[in-house]
Structure 1
Amino acid sequence: MASSSIVVLLFPLLALALLSALAADNFLSIDCGSSDSYTDKNLINWVGDDAFVQNGKSQVVQIPNGVSQEMSTLRVFTTRKKNCYSIDAEKGAQFLVRGSFYYGNYDKKSAPPSFDVLLDGNFFDTIQTTAEDVIYFEAIYVARSGSIQLCLAQSKPNQFPFISAIEIRGLDPTMYSHFESNYMMVNTRRVAFGATKSIRYPDDGYDRYWDPSGDVTGILKVTSDALGIDGIVEDQPPKLAMQTAITTSKTSQPLGIIGNGLPSAEVPIYITMFFSEVNLLDSSTDVRSFQIFIDDKNPSDPIIPIYGGVTEMYIANRTGSSKTSISLVATTDSTLPPLINAMEVYYLLGPLTEGTNSKDVEGLAALQGKFSILQEWTGDPCLPSPYTWDWVNCTTDDTPRVTALYLNGYDLSGQLPDFSSMDALVTIDMHNNSLSGAIPSFLGTLPNLKELNLGDNKLSGPVPSTISKNTKLKLEDSGNPNLCASGESCKTIARNDSPSSSGSSGTKKKSSKLPLIIGIAIPAFAAFWVIVVVCVCVVTSNKRRKAAVGAIGTGQIGVANMPNGAQQGVQMDGQMAGKLGEAVMNQYEVNVEEQATPDYQQQVTPEHVQDQDDRRLHY
């Protein structure tokens, strides 16, 4: 940060109505967990949160405890690492964002949870809820895109984040102009000194909460006798806050500001103070002049409050903590003690991230637009790093890139959209879904892609040449019955290829029919021989019966009286069977030779055939 600055601002008679116009156009109040629309006692219009969030469950608190209507319901998130509200906003416009949390024992467990709050991909704060108190945060920042993403993230097991209300207030662009837009201002204290009750809308057109100051020994509360506060300064405190103040009873007594709400560690700070004279002074005798000291050093220029007007002083470009002291000390020429009407204390958070690379955001938006199940993931895809989306992997750069999509088993169906803008992808895993249609050719042109798993889907058509010819890309596409290889002609084929070869060729080798023929011929040949043997046995048996009958007819019985009878019959049947077998083998060799390759035919020599014949004849 630059050197410390304490600057006094004086703005007479600005047009409040004109400066407040922007706030009216950017004024949104969301009752989380409710579906109703209503107007509260402060004339603020509230709407339910259904249109701003995807997940979560509505709950009703068990201990109303006199809280306002918007605190009686909440939305709790029991799934996902983070869940986000998305609220339209004008890019470059300045907003006050406030979130409120009231536990109210909604779950009947008497266990108030702790969780993290994120804003546009930036870690904002850890919220520790209590059993009965309303906890809220408030920040001022410039919208860096066309929406405000307010996210709740689970940081501890079984402690589920929830939220009761979200309020968005557009601020005038001239307000809080002394901090850099790549930082966020987190409010720790806003007080209307001397007030008896809180001040907010409609007294403050921007609906800032101004708490009344408590009673402090030696500190006096005073009220302005001015008929009105006609002037307004840059940060536009409400006029009602300028009508009361605190002071000391003695000019010599410094006015110490007790409590600043800052963290215990040193942080960049932004503090604004507002002053208005409460009495019409006699200029000849009365003087109220004082200086501001930070940690009892670095005094500001003298401040002389204006009766019926406003003087603003801001402290910036320095660090502070809960130990930082602020005191107002009268100058030597002052006849009256110092006073103060109102004060705001902020610390700066940043520099803010630009978010995930816009190319990846564009590609992820295309995927979410196509597959509604993915719309449950909201907020920045990569940031902050502990809360990236479940199905992406990101780099750790200040502007991270998405390097992997892990969408296996997400029940995705239909054709893949164009997400070619995601040129940092190294891995895409979309197996085990119901993706259909052709594989997009752009997948093969992603410059860093190394692994592409599209297995077990319903994809069809040819594998694009951008993929099949990409030697750096490992493709897995098995389990897609209607997918075919790329080439001049494409026919549906069964895909049981390995990842390294799948989709790389459209040419099929001509298969030989020889194994099939041999597989059929050999069993047939064996069956034939079984039939021949059976036939021989039957014929022999018949001849014996005939010879026996003839012998009975002539009165001769016995083999000795049958010269060459049965033995000759057997010998003739054997010769016939041998010839039949020889004919069958000749036909078998002809069929085999017709199916054999030329190389095989050249290897069959006459001697080989003779050997085959010899073995056949002596079988």
Structure 2
Amino acid sequence: FDLYLGPNPWDTIDLHRLENGTRREIFHIPTSNSLQICLVKTGETTPLITALEIRPMDNDTYITESGSLSLFSRRYNSQSEPYIRFPDDVYDRQWIAYFQPEWTQKNTTSVVRNNNDYEPPKSALSTAATPTNASAPLTIEWSTDNPEDDEYYLFTHFAEIQELQSNETREFNMFWNREPYYGPLTPTKLVINTIQSRSAETCREGKCSFQLIKSNISTLPPLLNAFEIFKVIQFPQAETDDNEVATIKNIEATYVLSRINWQGDPCVPREFMWDALNCSITAISTPPRITSL
């Protein structure tokens, strides 16, 4: 079945391939006073949902130039607990443990200050990965099916959790697909540093690559505590005018109307327009209007 956010397609769910279930997460700023999450039947089976959770976030976090952010991956670099969420994460985000064979794990029992806008859990920041080969980069790669169209935002979380000696320095630069991305960066001791993509990034030939490479003055390899990757999704179709949605729902309640397809947005998408309604639909960015019932 398809998953819609208001009148716009968000994702396709195939539970035949996902026997243990799946979850979808998105950061989205509503453009109206109501929000519909719709499961749209596309085959012979009936769509189903186990839970719907909505969390308010701070306005200064997960900012994009345009579009919404659909979670692609959220990881903390550890070989211990399989995942972290509430109460460790005040927003109940789920952080999955992730580690590569060529990495070495670093840990601290000290408290890491996580009081920036993102507030990743302290337990996720108390571990980190560094390349076992001190001269090697720390690399994270993933694939994309639509390299020409897919855009990503990356949020990386750093905190120095080792006790450095007076003659030791940790400094590194960040690269996206081998192009300079940010740096040089020296993580602050036991205090979070979050680096966010300045704009949406694309990937070459279907392969995305993010690397941390030590600088010439650094005596220590790069370090990464946690990271989040989001795919940009555009929702161009405007929702039906708020006042008219409120009016038609009042009519539905007053006259106890029961029509099976009176769900979701009344006018759009066109193929799901409510029975017996006529709507005026002009530009995709202009809210449709109900013209008759």
Normalising by the residue count of structure 2, what TM-score does the alignment of the two structures yield? Answer: 0.88
**8 A contact 1:382–1:400 mirrored in 2:** no
Q: Which amino acid aligns with 1:347?
A: K
Q: Give the whole-Å Cα distance in 1 for the aligned partners of 2:287 and 2:59.
A: 30
> Rg bigger for which structure?
1
180, 183, 186: which is aligned to 1:301? 183
Q: Does 1:140 align with 2:31?
A: no
Partner SS, residue 346 of structure 1: strand
**8 A contact 1:288–1:304 mirrored in 2:** yes
Partner SS, residue 301 of structure 1: strand
Q: Which amino acid aligns with 1:364?
A: I
Q: Which amino acid aligns with 1:128?
A: D
Structure 1 segments (4+ residues) deviating >6 Å: none
Q: Which amino acid aligns with 2:102?
A: G
157, 161, 167: which is aligned to 2:47? 161
Q: 1:272 to 1:262 in 2, by over 3 A?
A: farther
Q: Which amino acid aligns with 1:192?
A: Y
Residue of structure 1 equivalent to 2:122: 239
Residue of structure 1 equivalent to 2:6: 120
Q: 1:386 to 1:329 in 2, by over 3 A?
A: farther
Q: Give the whole-Å Cα distance in 1 for the aligned partners of 2:145 and 2:197.
A: 17
Q: Give the whole-Å Cα distance in 1 for the aligned partners of 2:49 and 2:240.
A: 25
Partner SS, residue 258 of structure 1: strand
Q: Percent identity?
A: 28
Q: Which amino acid aligns with 1:391?
A: A
Residue of structure 1 equivalent to 2:199: 317
Post-superposition CA distance 1:371-404 (Å, at most 9, x none):
22246512111223333223334435323535xx
186, 191, 199: which is aligned to 2:84? 199
Name which structure has the greater RCO, CA cutoff 8 Å, separation 6+. 2
Give 1:339 deviation, angstroms: 1.2
Give 1:353 deviation, angstroms: 3.6
Q: Give the whole-Å Cα distance in 1 for the aligned partners of 2:270 and 2:282.
A: 8
Post-superposition CA distance 1:101-120 (Å, at most 9, x none):
xxxxxxxxxxxxxx011112
Q: 1:386 to 1:317 in 2, by over 3 A?
A: farther
Give 1:276 deviation, angstroms: 1.0
Q: Give the whole-Å Cα distance in 1 for the aligned partners of 2:118 and 2:259.
A: 39
Give 1:363 deviation, angstroms: 3.8
Give 1:320 deviation, angstroms: 2.2
**8 A contact 2:140–2:210 mirrored in 1:** yes
Structure number having the greater helix percentage: 1
Residue of structure 2 equivalent to 1:172: 58
Q: Which amino acid aligns with 2:134?
A: T
Give 1:256 deviation, angstroms: 0.5
Partner SS, residue 361 of structure 1: helix
Residue of structure 2 equivalent to 1:211: 96
Q: Does 1:386 align with 2:271?
A: yes
Post-superposition CA distance 1:264-289 (Å, at most 9, x none):
3432322100011121112x310011
Partner SS, residue 343 of structure 1: strand
Q: Does 1:278 align with 2:161?
A: yes
Partner SS, residue 316 of structure 1: coil
Partner SS, residue 252 of structure 2: helix
Q: Any stretches of 5+ residues in structure 1 without a counterpart?
A: 1-114, 403-421, 429-619
**8 A contact 1:123–1:384 mirrored in 2:** no
Q: 1:299 to 1:132 in 2, by over 3 A?
A: closer
Normalising by the residue count of structure 1, what TM-score does the alignment of the two structures yield? Answer: 0.44
Q: Give the whole-Å Cα distance in 1 for the aligned partners of 2:251 and 2:6.
A: 21
Residue of structure 2 equivalent to 1:291: 173
RMSD: 2.2
Q: Which amino acid aligns with 1:379?
A: G
Partner SS, residue 367 of structure 1: helix
Q: Any stretches of 5+ residues in structure 2 without a counterpart?
A: none
Give 1:222 deviation, angstroms: 1.9
Q: Give the whole-Å Cα distance in 2 for the aligned partners of 1:385 and 1:223.
A: 55
Partner SS, residue 207 of structure 1: coil
Residue of structure 1 equivalent to 2:248: 364
39, 48, 53: which is aligned to 1:152? 39
Q: Give the whole-Å Cα distance in 1 for the aligned partners of 2:141 and 2:177.
A: 12
Residue of structure 1 equivalent to 2:238: 354
Give 1:195 deviation, angstroms: 4.6
Post-superposition CA distance 1:416-450 (Å, at most 9, x none):
xxxxxx5x44xx5xxxxxxxxxxxxxxxxxxxxxx
**8 A contact 1:195–1:245 mirrored in 2:** no
Q: Which amino acid aligns with 2:22?
A: I
Give 1:359 deviation, angstroms: 5.0
Q: Give the whole-Å Cα distance in 2 for the aligned partners of 1:375 and 1:200.
A: 40
Output aligned runs, 1:223-238, within 5 Å.
Answer: 223-225=107-109, 227-238=110-121
